[in-house]
Amino acid sequence: MAKVKTKFFCQECGFESAKWLGKCTSCQAWNSFVEELETTEVKTQGMNTPFLRSQEKAISILDIESVSDQRIVTNNLELNRVLGGGVVPGSLILVGGDPGIGKSTLLLQTSHELTQKGLKVLYISGEESAKQTKIRAERLNALSPLLYVLCETNLEFIMEAIEQVQPQFLVIDSIQTVYHPTIASAPGSVSQVRECTSHFMRIAKVKGIATVLVGHVTKDGAIAGPRMLEHMVDCVLYFEGERHHTYRLLRAVKNRFGSTNEIGIFEMTEDGLREVNNPSELFLSERPLGVAGSIVVASMEGTRPVLVELQALVCATNFPSPRRMSTGIEHNRLSLIIAVLEKRIGFFLQNQDAYINLAGGVKLDEPAVDLAVAVSIASSFRDQPTQPYDVVFGEIGLTGEVRGVSRVDQRVKEAHKLGFKRVIMPEKSLKGWTPPSGIEVIGVQTVAEALKVAFRE
């Protein structure tokens, strides 16, 4: 009787080891190895036969015919923006997000919109029954004769359904529930996820079916399974948001067919997800006026300018080490800006707790929010509000200078459209464009100069 062999795989990066390791030598992750049975033979006939291709010869890139595939443009403008203009036929897309955030709702609505354009869609659900999917589709008003639903987790049966239906758009919800029958590991393991994804990638490329895989996320917010899963797909989307807020953010972290800086903003309603065309109005709808520590910052998310309220609270502490907490911006960036205010401006913040929050739960990681953080901290520290219709943006250096940022014309136009009266920005960014009439644009060179303008000293 043959001896059963086992191997250990890292759940983070897929590193293979003959024995269990406490720390992965590849990605340095702790306690990430799981034991799986070793696969000694892989079937090459049966379900793989229809998708095998003949061996091709290498040719010069100049001899390859240029083919511009027509993108599948959905009725959802926010989704089109994130994908770079629409769904590319034959692409493999991975969508991740927290449980209950709205991944299945978004894909079911998208599937219905594609059927309205005459496309045949196959929705594979491994977590819900057909009746549960029908109930959710009725609530979303997403019923169509071209939308086919299959509740199956066996990869062989899913392949047969794809051959039978011949869809143009395929949804797998979720990849962690699908299993390969020839692999002894449990569904969701490293071997199963890797093997099933490779089969769906082969289907997408050979048959030209746009395929979307739904992936679970870990407690750290990353997509569960090996990191090589993200390298195999063409596009990786993260569906973000807070359970206590009604809006959701769709962010691309990898996109072979478009930009990775775009975000799509949706609002969760009783009838499903509704796209938000003007996110600045959403983030500023509940902004208080004339309150110390509140300022509006103009940020760029891809090609879209977004105005967000930034709030700061500075208060005395009873502990020897003051707290520095930030929500929406990087914690190290907050510490750097506080150090600049202490050294260059003369603020004594060593006995003050500092809290920074971007209203609405949005996250901004560009350096252009530095100046707004400094102004809001100064406003809360002095207990002196700024003018309610000011917009501030700019990058801060360690010497206290205000550095220029990109796309200032779009930021100023967005502020003018929403009725703001004054913009405080880097002086170096004033060249090369003309500000619109009706809004005052003030250029500053240092943080001290920006504070004088903001508080009219």
pLDDT tens, the chain, 457 aa long: 445 678 888 877 778 888 888 998 888 888 888 887 765 544 444 445 454 455 568 888 888 777 666 888 888 889 998 998 899 999 999 998 888 888 999 999 999 999 999 999 999 999 889 999 999 999 999 999 999 999 999 999 999 999 999 999 999 998 989 999 888 778 887 888 888 999 999 999 999 999 999 987 765 656 655 566 788 899 999 888 766 677 888 988 899 988 887 888 898 888 889 988 888 887 888 888 889 999 999 999 878 899 999 999 999 998 889 999 999 899 999 999 999 999 999 999 999 999 999 987 788 889 999 999 999 999 999 999 999 999 999 999 999 999 999 999 999 999 999 999 999 999 999 988 999 999 999 999 999 999 999 997 4
Q: Burial of 106 by CB count in 10 Å (0-12 exposed, 13-18 middle, 19+ buried)?
A: buried
pTM to 2 decimals? 0.76
Bridging pattern class, strands 169-173 and 147-150: unpaired
**Annotated binding-site members:** 97-104
Residue 170 structure tokens = 């395929």
Confidence (pLDDT) at 52: 47
Q: Is 215 helix (H, G, I), strand (E, B) or coil?
A: strand
Residues 166 and 146: their CA atoms lie apart, in Å, by 11
Is the Cα torsion angle 168, 66, 200, 257 positive or negative in sign?
negative
Q: Which of 417, 413, 157, 228 is nearest to 425 (CA)?
A: 413
Confidence (pLDDT) at 46: 47
Residues 149 and 173: their CA atoms lie apart, in Å, by 11
Residues 166 and 177: their CA atoms lie apart, in Å, by 22
CATH superfamily, with its number, for domain 72-277: P-loop containing nucleotide triphosphate hydrolases (3.40.50.300)
Q: Which of 400, 379, 407, 394 is nearest to 443 (CA)?
A: 394
Q: Which of 439, 429, 341 is nearest to 381 (CA)?
A: 341
Q: Contact, 402 vs 422, CB < 8 A?
A: no
Domain ranges of the chain: 6-37, 72-277, 282-455
Task: Say whether 282-455 and 72-277 share the same fold.
Answer: no
What DSSP string runs through 223-250?
BSS-THHHHHSSEEEEEE--TTSSEEEE
End-to-end CA distance of the chain: 88
Options 1.10.3720.10, 2.60.40.3880, 3.30.230.10, 3.40.50.10420; CATH of 282-455: 3.30.230.10
**Annotated binding-site members for ATP:** 97-104
Q: Which amino acid is at 340?
A: V
Q: Is 365 helix (H, G, I), strand (E, B) or coil?
A: coil
Q: Which of 393, 382, 386, 378 is nearest to 444 (CA)?
A: 393
165 contact partners, CB below 8 Å, separation of at least 6: 120, 122, 148
What distances in angstroms separate CA 227 from CA 13, 208, 250, 285, 425, one per listed residue?
5, 25, 20, 39, 40
Based on C-alpha coordinates, what's the Rg of the chain? 26
Residue 306, CB-side half-sphere exposure with 13 Å CA sphere:
29
Confidence (pLDDT) at 182: 86
Confidence (pLDDT) at 318: 86
Residue 456 structure tokens = 């009219």
